[in-house]
Amino acid sequence: MLGLAAGAGALAFWKYKKMSPDEKQRLKDKASETGSRIKEKASEVQDTISDKYDQLKNTAKKEASDFKSEAKDMTR
């Protein structure tokens, strides 16, 4: 499996070396654009997860508070 990956890497390197400067620039631009989109999506996912965590935390606090109130009412 490792040999196959090394062979694919060598082929990609050889093809890159044969590219014209314009083709190399287009490839670099595409890689940069893809990286930017990945970073943007990762940030969106992080924000969503953070929001959901805060919602769960607040719900748990409310439930614990309600439970304490009910327990107090039962002991009176």
Q: How many whole angstroms separate alpha carbon 11 and alpha carbon 18?
A: 11
d(CA 2, CA 65): 57
Number of domains forming the structure of the chain? 1
The pLDDT, as a whole number, for residue 32 is 98
Residue 56 resides in a domain:
yes
pTM confidence score:
0.60
Instruction: Give the residue numbers spanning the domain of 56.
Output: 20-75
Q: Is residue 1 in a domain? A: no
Q: What is the pLDDT along the chain (76 residues), one digit of tens a residue?
A: 778 889 999 999 999 999 999 999 999 999 999 999 999 999 999 999 999 999 999 999 999 998 888 877 777 6
Give the three-class secondary structure for 76. Answer: coil
Q: How far is CA 63 from the centre of its chain?
A: 31
Residue 6 in any domain: the answer is: no
In a domain, 63, yes or no: yes
